[in-house]
Amino acid sequence: MFTLSELLKAATLVPIVPQLVDGPNLRVLSGKEYRFPVPGVPAVRLPRDVSGLEALLASAGPHEAVCWAALTSPVHRVPLQASDGCRRVALLTACEDGNGGHVLAIVTLTMRSRGRFGPAEIAAHHVDLATDQEQMLDQLERLWEEAEPAARAAASGAPAVWLGGNPAALLPGGNERVRGVAATFGLRIEVVSEPSRHVPEIATRLGSSPPSYLIVWRPGARNVDPAVAAFRKATAEGELVELCESEFADALLELRWGLAELGLADTTPRADGDQQRTAPTAGEERFYVKFWGSKVGDVMIYVPDCGHQQWGSDERSRAPRALKGIGRLEGITPKALHLCARCSKNRWRARF
């Protein structure tokens, strides 16, 4: 519910909004109930009085259509931490603007109860609209910080591990800040504080059960090379992201950029465009990187040779998802698969 790529994949064209006046259209929202995919969180019902709803829509300005879409058919509904005894909820949706771009809308409602059986009323509302990736990620990270713990716990994603320093001591809510950045990219991250004190134990764990992503903040994770080596030895498909910024706040931005470079915020492959692909010939070599992870075979995209000339041994047995993904893309299974030892993002050389 916090992952940007999932929201953009579900985006639809901006709907044609009917005349939003005191009439049938607002009655669609009057008394509308929002349920949450989180155990133990009760539903929220809008008031039947439409005057507050009119003001809410008016606050969206030129993006009234996207606000309407978020209210009538939100892609995600996130319960937020209560404030002054009022319940709070965020409604999320994304729409295409017709020019190849997207608009992300987050409508935050603060609902005040008038007693056990009295109707609720909208005590406050706020509409956040984002049109570029950085703004969208900012809004989703803020949403993570304000979400109820149950909503955070319900978030799923590919497993990841953070090695470096003690985020909780470096910044208020530091651990949640790291988890929030990861959640917006669809990762479920475990923060390992002060990893330098437990390198043998960490190396054993990474070697026996490697995550899909290992994030190492170098200034706060000295002498962890044995753990990194164990991760590399255990899996040829896991991604290693190394952060070098000395300040923790800057490292969080570097983490965001590093994950974005891996394509985790994208919705369509950046590959061959409309060019007609031809099947590889016997003995031909082609190069690939992973666009999206999948247990049944990664989604791979075709890229040029990196030129490093540091290809390791055949990795077919250690990289079954990459092998299946290339086979699905090309229609033929490679006879050999090699991983570049220098590329920050896993780059594969397949020989057919």
| pLDDT for res 23 | 42
Do 89 and 207 fall within a single domain? no
Do 124 and 164 fall within a single domain? no
Do 231 and 304 fall within a single domain? no
Do 119 and 219 fall within a single domain? no
Q: Which of 317, 329, 264, 258 is nearest to 292 (CA)?
A: 264
Ordered strands of the 213-217 beta sheet: 187-192, 158-163, 213-217, 239-243
Are 194 and 222 contacting, i.e. CB atoms less than 8 angstroms apart?
A: no
| pLDDT for res 273 | 45
Its domain, for residue 331, covers: 285-351
The answer to whether residue 339 is domain-embedded is yes
Do 220 and 325 fall within a single domain? no
The answer to whether residue 272 is domain-embedded is no
The whole-number mean pLDDT for each consecutive block of 10 residues of the chain, a chain of 352 residues, reads 86 60 61 86 82 71 77 90 89 82 88 71 85 91 93 89 92 92 93 91 92 92 91 85 92 91 68 62 89 71 86 87 88 91 84 92
| pLDDT for res 119 | 67
| Beta-strand relationship, 121-130 and 102-112 | antiparallel
Query: How many structural domains are present in the chain?
Result: 3
For residue 64 the two structure tokens come to 């009234």
Are 239 and 213 contacting, i.e. CB atoms less than 8 angstroms apart?
A: yes
Do 39 and 119 fall within a single domain? yes
The answer to whether residue 276 is domain-embedded is no
| pLDDT for res 343 | 81
Do 244 and 314 fall within a single domain? no
* Straight-line distance from the first to the last Cα atom of the chain, in angstroms, rounded to the nearest whole number: 40
Do 291 and 255 fall within a single domain? no
The answer to whether residue 21 is domain-embedded is yes
Do 103 and 173 fall within a single domain? no
Do 338 and 238 fall within a single domain? no
The answer to whether residue 79 is domain-embedded is yes
The answer to whether residue 296 is domain-embedded is yes
Query: What CATH number does the domain containing 224 carry?
Result: 3.40.50.2300
The answer to whether residue 123 is domain-embedded is yes
**Residue 67 exposed, middle or buried by CB count within 10 Å (0-12, 13-18, 19+):** buried
CA max distance for the chain: 75
In this prediction the pTM is 0.78
| Cα–Cα distances in angstroms (integers) from residue 92 to residues 64, 67, 103, 223, 326, in the given order | 14, 9, 11, 42, 35
C-alpha–C-alpha distance, residues 142 and 139, integer Å: 5
According to DSSP, residue 117 is labeled S
Do 317 and 222 fall within a single domain? no
The answer to whether residue 325 is domain-embedded is yes
Do 110 and 165 fall within a single domain? no
- How many helices (H) and strands (E) the chain has is answered by 12, 15
Single-letter amino acid, residue 212: S
According to DSSP, residue 333 is labeled -
